[in-house]
Amino acid sequence: MNMATGLDRRHPRGVIFIRVLVTAWLLALTGILLAYGYWGWALLTLAGAVANIALAYRVFRATARERRSNGPREGRE
């Protein structure tokens, strides 16, 4: 199953970069929530961070597979 949408195929680096930034923010928010004792909300944001990084990895794998299947570009051997 191909997980890359149209935007992911056209701009994979940008999409992955944004997903990594959002994951970093969610992990920081998780730490803040844990520090104040909001365990339920912290688990929710942690689950979101894990899902977000998993989607970024799937986009990376899908676009890398497409790049490999296109073969060498013209002028390169």
Query: Are residues 49 and 32 in contact, defined by beta-carbon separation less than 8 angstroms?
Result: no
Measured CA distances, 5 to 10, 42, 60 (Å): 9, 30, 12
From the CB of residue 22, how many other CB atoms can be counted at a distance below 10 Å? 15
CA distance 16 to 42: 23
Mean pLDDT of 6-15: 79
pLDDT at 9 over 60: yes
Segment 23-54, tens digit of pLDDT: 999 999 999 999 999 999 999 999 999 999 99
- State the average pLDDT for the chain: 84
Each domain of the chain, given as residue ranges in start order, spans: 11-65
